[in-house]
């Protein structure tokens, strides 16, 4: 079993839809959780990070962490064609363990 | 403020050759990590450099080696290239002193094709 599981999709939605992206993990020591967006042939761009459980909101993006279920989510409200990209979840155990463990990424396509 | 820069952008090599990839971290960052991203996969951690020393290493063979220079820039060297080394190689930089908020910012990557 991989440490981080993420459905690769692809996920196709119409413009304006609410998108839900998810990852599950097996290592209960993970404490820091990140979401990266990666456009085709580009490097990953940090979208959001959260520490431990809870919610964090930034504009149209909301990140949720449920450590009891080992489940994290990223919600995108009012999705736009410019949101079309691959979304990677990443996590790390603690501030000393800075090797990020990534999921496979979910490819999202938003049509206008 | 320049972000993380990498060179070259693309590279084609043949099996058995050696390759060197370069990375300049974001201004103010002192730690460089290297990742390998195969097609359709998430990035996999290769190693991290801080204070010119390798601090942490992922599950990669000794063919993969690196270096960090006093100006915090870094090189990734891969010897005896295999077809399976074809991937996007990503450099990420961070600032060690940022504590628990330490996050890694990625460069655009170098796309390596081994024929």
| pLDDT exceeds 90 at position B79 | yes
Least CB-CB distance to A99: which of B41, B48, B103? B48
Looking at residue B102, its pLDDT comes to 60
Residue B82: band (very low, low, confident or very high) from pLDDT cuts 50, 70, 90 = very high
What value does the mean pLDDT of chain B take?
A: 92
Rounded to whole angstroms, the Cα distance separating B4 from B24 reads 6
Looking at residue A79, its pLDDT comes to 97
**Contact call for residues A70 and A25 (beta carbons, < 8 A):** yes
The CA-atom distances, in angstroms, between B27 and each of A45, B13, B24, B102, B105 are: 17, 31, 9, 15, 11
Query: B50-78 pLDDT, tens per residue?
Result: 999 998 899 999 999 999 999 999 999 99
Query: A13-25 pLDDT, tens per residue?
Result: 999 999 999 999 9
A100 vs B contacts (CB less than 8 Å): 33, 35, 43, 45, 92, 104
| pLDDT exceeds 90 at position B2 | no
Least CB-CB distance to A102: which of B42, B108, B111? B42
Residue A85: band (very low, low, confident or very high) from pLDDT cuts 50, 70, 90 = very high
Nearest-Cα residue of chain A relative to residue B58: A99
| pLDDT exceeds 50 at position B100 | no
User: Are A8 and B40 inside 8 Å of each other by CB?
Assistant: yes
Residue B94: band (very low, low, confident or very high) from pLDDT cuts 50, 70, 90 = confident
B56 vs A contacts (CB less than 8 Å): 97-99
User: Are B33 and A98 inside 8 Å of each other by CB?
Assistant: yes
Whether chain B has a CB inside 8 Å of the CB on A82: the answer is: no
Tokens describing residue B80: 């005896």
């Amino acid at each position: 079993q991989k440490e981080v599981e993420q459905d690769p999709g692809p996920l196709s939605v119409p413009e304006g839809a609410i998108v839900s992206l998810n990852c599950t993990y097996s290592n209960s020591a993970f404490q820091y959780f990140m979401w990266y967006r990666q456009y085709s042939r580009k490097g990953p761009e940090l979208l959001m990070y959260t520490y431990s459980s809870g919610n964090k909101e930034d504009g149209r993006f909301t990140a949720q962490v449920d450590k009891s279920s080992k489940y994290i989510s990223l919600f995108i409200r009012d999705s736009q064609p410019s949101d079309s990209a691959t979304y990677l979840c990443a996590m790390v155990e603690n501030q000393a363990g800075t090797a990020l463990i990534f999921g496979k990424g979910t490819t999202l396509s938003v049509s206008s | 403020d320049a972000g993380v820069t990498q060179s070259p952008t693309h590279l084609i090599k043949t099996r058995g050759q050696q390759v060197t990839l370069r990375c300049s971290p974001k201004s103010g960052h002192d730690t460089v990590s290297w990742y390998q991203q195969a097609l359709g996969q998430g990035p996999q951690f290769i190693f991290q450099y801080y204070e010119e020393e390798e601090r942490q290493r992922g599950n990669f063979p000794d063919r993969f080696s690196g270096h960090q220079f006093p100006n915090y820039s870094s090189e990734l060297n891969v010897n005896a290239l295999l077809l399976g080394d074809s991937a996007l190689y990503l450099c990420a930089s961070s600032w060690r002193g940022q504590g628990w908020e330490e996050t890694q910012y990625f460069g655009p990557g170098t796309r390596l094709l081994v024929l």
